[in-house]
Structure 1
Amino acid sequence: MSDDKINLMQLMSKRMDYLAERHKVISQNVANADTPNYRARDLRQQNFTQALKDANNRQPLAMTQPNHLAPVSPQTKFAVDKDKKPYETSLDKNSVVLEEQMMKMSQNQSDYTLNAELYNRYTSMAKMALSRGGQ
């Protein structure tokens, strides 16, 4: 597939944005662990298949003048869900379980590190291909 069909870098960048936003939500859960009636929240899981379809169906934006800035796609917000069935609820009806939040944060950090490493490797591979292409 050509680069204009699927922009892998853009998909990886959106994934990193999602993981950064999820980190904020999990951090808010931990910060509100003692707040009465607080319900733990999390972001909805991303659907990679749908993101791939959206990337393939998106019409590229065109520059009408050569001195115009390159078009930028709008930022999307991620949907936040409250836990529907918390494992535990304290007497003050707080549904934050710190052990569960720490596990989510650890998994989120691992996913972010993996995504960042893939992003760096893909960039290095592209740089290498471009530098050898001129020889």
Structure 2
Amino acid sequence: MIKMVLLAFFGSAFPVVLFNIDRKKIIFTGIAGALGWIAYSIVFDKTGSAIMASFFGALALNIYSECMARILKTPASMFCIPGIFPLVPGITAYSAITYFVDKNFNMAQSKGLLTLGIAGAIGFGILISSSVIEYIFKLRKYCVNS
């Protein structure tokens, strides 16, 4: 588990160079990826569902990203986009294409639908967490100003 968390950390921290993000935020970006992977691993161990695990991984990752964006006064996408890399279903998509090329259409369909489900769960997790965080901060701002 520790090895995978470290790989998720580095898998999120290294793309920061490609995106030209401020070098001072590399560690926070790596933490975002590691946190998303920890949430993914916990949910996957409990449920066995990659789709549900991806949803909760993206949810945890984006809540962290939104909070760090407000703390460091930077866009949340600086943490969320590189942080989501460990959750992207690349091997599943590759498997779907490989099965399709090998004319194993049942497995290709199964892996393709799993890939779409995981991608949709990641998107939905980001959507829900962004909306909830935005609502909480607006509510907090409203309560403080009243």
TMscore range, shorter length? 0.3 to 0.5
Highest RCO, 1 vs 2 (Cα 8 Å, sep ≥ 6)? 1
Give the structure-1-normalised TM-score.
0.38
Give the structure-2-normalised TM-score.
0.35
Q: Which structure is higher in strand share?
A: 1
